[in-house]
Amino acid sequence: MKKLILGLFIFGLTIQISAQTVELPETLITVNYKYLDAIDIDNVPERVKKLEDEVLNYKNIEKSNLYDDEHDTYSVSFYVPEGKIVAAYDINGKIIRTIEKYNNVRLPLVVMQAVSKRFPNWGIVEDIYYIKYHIETDSLKQQYKIKLKNENQTITVKTNEIGIFL
């Protein structure tokens, strides 16, 4: 009898314990998950992120006027003063490929270090950031075109996202 009462007492105490609540991070479910995975949304300038969000959130409004039967895609251009994206979508709204161009973005540290190491007395005048994405390769090709100036001389160099000169 003592075991039964003790068992019910312990059982009664365990019922009073509330379950642990775990908050999950914000989850984004999209048909364009490959594009979302390819772009590194954490390490890009805000204006680039803003335009890429527009591409991801495009809702296929009036796509019948833009649809190309020959290639089974339609292209949409997105513009801000500092950059633009031309994105090709399939009939279901999946991003097939993008071409992106941004003017005067903050260069990554590795790119700035590579430029300053190779051209020590040169200053960066302007830069252009190009991004190409294609769903079949499932990767991003990033390139920086940088205009450098030293007194009265100017040159243009190209690097990738890790500072290797092209």
Is the pTM higher than 0.75? The answer reads no
Q: Which residue from 146, 113, 112, 117 is spatially nearest to 129, judged by alpha carbons?
A: 146
Check residue 37 and give left, alpha or beta (phi > 0: left; psi -120 to 50: alpha). Answer: alpha
Q: What number of residues does the chain have?
A: 166
Residue 63 has a pLDDT of: 56
Residue 54 has a pLDDT of: 81
Residues 6+ away with beta carbon under 8 Å from 156: 145, 146, 147, 148
One pLDDT digit (tens) per residue for the chain, 166 residues: 777 776 767 766 666 555 567 776 766 556 676 777 777 656 677 778 888 888 887 776 555 555 556 667 788 888 888 889 898 888 777 888 889 999 988 888 899 999 999 999 899 999 999 989 888 876 788 899 999 999 889 999 999 988 889 8
Residue 158 has a pLDDT of: 94
Residue 101 has a pLDDT of: 92
Residue 106 has a pLDDT of: 87
Residue 154 has a pLDDT of: 93
- The torsion defined by the Cα of 150, 151, 153 and 156, in degrees rounded to 10, comes to 30
First-last CA distance in the chain: 84
